[in-house]
Structure 1
Amino acid sequence: MIQNILWLTLDSSPDDIAAMVADNEGLPRYFRVDTSLAANPDQDLMKLALKNRTAKDLLVQLTNLGFSLYYNAADESRFIRHDRIIHHWPAVKDGTFKVSDDGIVHQFELPESGRIDQLVVILSPINSKPRLIRYFRPSFATLMKYIPRNTAILRIADVGGVKGAFYLDTRFMPDNSSKIRRLIQSTVNEQSIDADNVVLFGASKGGTGALYHGLTGGWKFVAVDPIISDSWYEQYENDYHFTADGVFLRSKQEIFAELIGQVAAEPRGDSLNSVIVTSSRSPQYPITSEIIYPLRNDLSVLDSGNPNILKHPDVAPSTIYAQVMAINTLLLGFGFPLGESAIP
């Protein structure tokens, strides 16, 4: 009989997990990891994994089997199997969040008028809470107040990976990006929205998704300091996003260099009419500038010199005015100067 819960400790190895699954004749619904042996046993396995190689190996193995950290208590981290998430997540169960036919968790906000002529798609930034909500961190919760009437909002969760799949494909979910793109397209089709009236928006990890799906789906986008390379976080932040050990099929820099090269080579009469909001004060700036270089004449890049920007997470809160301006400019069908422009 298959057990619904299997236990691990920090003495366990990835091979132990494989053996336990084999003995169990299948994957359990839950894994629980006893962290009492850790120096800080009350920390969740994500935090422990940043300093403990054994914890990281366990975390990566569980992630690649399709398990997500959903709860942490004293001496214990709990993981849930991917197909069980929608049955466990309270906001899905009570109808606050919806689930597409492909299993993509999302939320749809109607404008007050009830009429839909335009759509903003919001993709979530990073969150490190040991709860499922880290996959759906609220981003610009009040945006509806600042966009044109008759504009709906589609918010898409980023379930997968350790701290999210960056709206890309992972080893466990090799078709994740296609499912997300289908959700956007099906929403556009169902609401009879013209493709030119769709704007994708996101900051940081959400910016990664906005840039990727904007380029692959042909939609306009506003990407705020998108993370399009793993190298900086792997080198300077101890692999904070857990990208270095096989969770993802390809590195972001490989994905975006190839994609941007393909888009740049396509014959096109008009610009992409899309915006990247960034700052030369962000460590992501030189990386982003290099990778998007082939599209430098087709995009609008707004570079904030705000002295309050000292690191990547400072860019989004310091440039909200520019983000609202960019979203509304694109929704209204206006354009930006191409190339890079300095903003406060």
Structure 2
Amino acid sequence: MAVIQLIKNIDNLSNDSDKVVQKFSKLLQNSKNEYKLLHIGYMQDMFYVRSKIDKDTDFEQITWWLSDHSDFFSDDYMSNIETQKNNGKFISNFSGGKNVSDFWMHENKIRLVFIRGTNGQGTERWYLNSQGKIFLKTEIHLEASGYVTDALKIKINGSEIKFLSEEELIHFYLSHIIHDGDVLVTSDLSLIDIELNYFGHATGKIFNIVDRSPEIKKIKQQIFLVDGLITGNKDIYEQLLLDYSFNKNEVYFIGENSLKRNLSIKGFSMETIKFDNHDKPKLGAEIIKLDHNFNREKLLSGAGKHPDLVNLLNELAGMDYILYRGTKKSAWFIRRRLYDSRSLKRFKDVFYQLNIPEKKRITNKRNKLVVFFLSLPPVDGLISNDPQDRSFTEMFLNIQRSLVKDTFVLRIADLNLVRGSFYANSVNFQDYEQQIQSLIRKIMTENDITVDNVVTYGVSRGGVGALIHGAWLNSRIVAVDPIINDEYYVKYKQDVHYVGQNREVDLTSKIESYLSHSTASGLILSNHFIQNNWKYLERLNLQNKLQLIDVKDDTVTEHSVLSRNTVPEQLMYLNMAFYKLI
């Protein structure tokens, strides 16, 4: 039997293998357990990952394993290149004056080929081994928030195998590595769904232990035990509560029919509808199970290709259901008000996290507050079945180190509709804005913060929240490329933000109305080279209260990359706001 620890990002690995084995040897009353580390993040450079692993660790990596056990694709990625441009970490390749591909390098060797289509957008990623052979291909397409992976391909014994999600590829990998009776362990909550879905193909017990380290305050400690290991074994159950100081309400039992069993404990009612039958959901049940034939665990992955599915998702969102779980054949939606976060605090129906200043950054000056409205997440979060992944983007985690002292940071989740309502009222959540305002006022009161020491801040989706709530609050505002009008995305991007049916598509009038009654000040940071968004911002009547600042960067033409290209400016303006300079 082996205790196998899964990790997706090697930079998050702590040297705790002895601790892991010790915990589970005691729990399973077996002193001969072996420890093995499995890295399942196929997008992380496999040579970099290998360099971070202790040579004595029993280690396996998904991309390295694939490169050793699969056949190679025969595509020639060098023949059509006429000129090249070295951009540091990658090399851009041109043919006929067009950027046809990019080479991503590691130690002066090509490790990944990024293939571009005739319009310049990426269509595929090719992963290379140390000999420059292609062992993995991924099909991709560009959405508003970045590139989405549509499929992953490998070759085994001369035949091509196509996976419709990264989970399918990971499950294929695990099926060749995991043996009966092995114990899977992870401290990464984002991997729990992957493990639970894999459980349908595995006979071993699956554990997920979240570290109780006091530094990780953002994570609510949980243990997941699968296949009824606890049920029927009271001694192990009691030992867990004793060893890890867990309360009984922090231990969840999840079995083969994980979602239904877990929720039915609470007595929730459930209705089943079938997508292929064009069934219509009925308002009443707490949970709706949607059966489908898309054969993917992440229902949102590629959903834009199916207008009927987009309409159904919007319809469910308008009825106040949120996507909560998924398998290859089914997706579950729960009433928004019944959802409870694993790690965030809750005020009314708004979820949040409050970061207080470190002791060394506390002085005798007045307390300050950044109200951080969060942007849309990267692709993995956008298509996640977990509402928190879609609504609470973990970004600028150490931002307080770059802000003036005595600054609190209030991060607010946009847990509404499918991918948030951009912190604005919607048909299903008509007092959303009022609840957010009440939360902000509560935090200000509890921490003795006056409105002249408050800055509302956000990027993209969060930029809209910063505008709406900064105007309402009469605070200072730093909004980065807010999408105040979703017309372009509704018409040409298959309503990728899922706001077309349940919220005003154009928020211009709302924002202008709030500004007309406000004493707020501040700025909107944008770039006129991102024309799809700039054209709406320059029409916005700022009423001499806000400035529209154009960074004039001709290298940034996509909304999704503006934020990471303007970090110094954002931090500068945030700090200027606290000095009343904007």
Superposition TM-score tier, normalisation by shorter sequence: 0.7 to 0.9
Change (3 A) 1:142 1:3: closer
Contact 1:308–1:314 under 8 Å retained in 2: no
Does the CA contact (< 8 Å) of 2:299 and 2:383 recur in 1?
A: no
SS of residue paired to 1:210: helix
C-alpha deviations, 1:188-230, integer Å up to 9, x for none? Answer: 1221112110001100000000011111221111000001001
Q: Is 1:83 matched up with 2:337? A: yes
**Deviations 1:20-66 (CA, angstroms, capped at 9, x unpaired):** x5xxxx323x2222222x3xx21633345412232223212211221
Is the Cα–Cα contact under 8 Å of residues 48 and 56 in structure 1 kept in the other structure?
Answer: no
| Structure 1 segments unaligned to the other structure (5+ residues) | 92-96, 336-344
Listed one character per residue, the Cα deviations across residues 223-273 of structure 1 (whole Å, up to 9, x for unaligned) are: 00001001111122121112222x22x33x2x4224315634x597xxx43
After TM superposition, the structure 1 = structure 2 runs for residues 1-344 of structure 1, keeping only pairs within 5 Å, are: 4-13=269-278, 16-18=280-282, 26-28=284-286, 30-36=287-293, 38=294, 41-42=295-296, 44-86=298-340, 89-91=341-343, 97-100=344-347, 102-113=348-359, 117-127=367-377, 128-130=382-384, 131-132=386-387, 133-245=389-501, 247-248=502-503, 250-251=504-505, 253=506, 255-261=507-513, 263-264=515-516, 272-282=520-530, 283-290=532-539, 292=540, 294-295=541-542, 297-335=544-582
Secondary structure of 2:339's counterpart equals: helix
Amino acid at match of 2:326: N
Runs of 4+ in 1 over 6 A off after TM superposition: none
CA contact (8 A) 1:110 1:153 kept: yes
Q: Which amino acid aligns with 2:305?
A: K
Hey, which of these two has a bigger chunk of strand by percent? 2
Letter of the structure 1 residue corresponding to residue 357 of structure 2? P
Shift of 1:287: 1.0
Pair 330,77 (structure 1): closer, same or farther in 2 beyond 3 Å: same
Q: CA deviation at 1:138?
A: 1.4
| TM-score (norm: length of structure 2) | 0.50
Query: Which whole-Å deviations, capped at 9, do the CAs of 1:90-127 have from their partners, x for residues lacking one?
Result: 21xxxxx2111x22100011101356610001011113
> Partners of 2:373 and 2:268 in 1: how far apart?
36
1:287 & 1:180 partners in 2: Cα distance? 25
Q: Deviations over 1:49-84 (max 9, x none)?
A: 412232223212211221111223222222222122
1:338 aligned partner: none
* Alpha-carbon distance, 1:329 to partner: 0.3
2:470–2:476 contact (8 Å) kept in structure 1 = yes
Normalised to the residue count of structure 1, the TM-score between the two structures is 0.83
Q: Distance in 2 between matches of 1:178 and 1:50?
A: 32
Structure 2 distance, partners of 1:54, 1:135, is 24
| Separation of aligned partners in 2, 1:177 and 1:218 | 14
Contact 1:122 1:139 in 2 (8 A): no
Give the alignment's Cα RMSD to 1 decimal: 2.2
Distance 1:172 1:185 in 2: 23
User: 1:119 corresponds to which letter in structure 2?
Assistant: L
Alignment partners' CA distance in 2, 1:297 and 1:106:
32
Instruction: Give the stretch that moved more between structures: 1-10 or 156-165.
Output: 1-10
- Supply the AA of the counterpart residue of 1:274: G
Instruction: Give the residue type in structure 2 aligned to 1:159.
Output: L
* Whole-angstrom distance in 1 between the partners of 2:434 and 2:393: 21
Structure with greater helix share of residues: 1
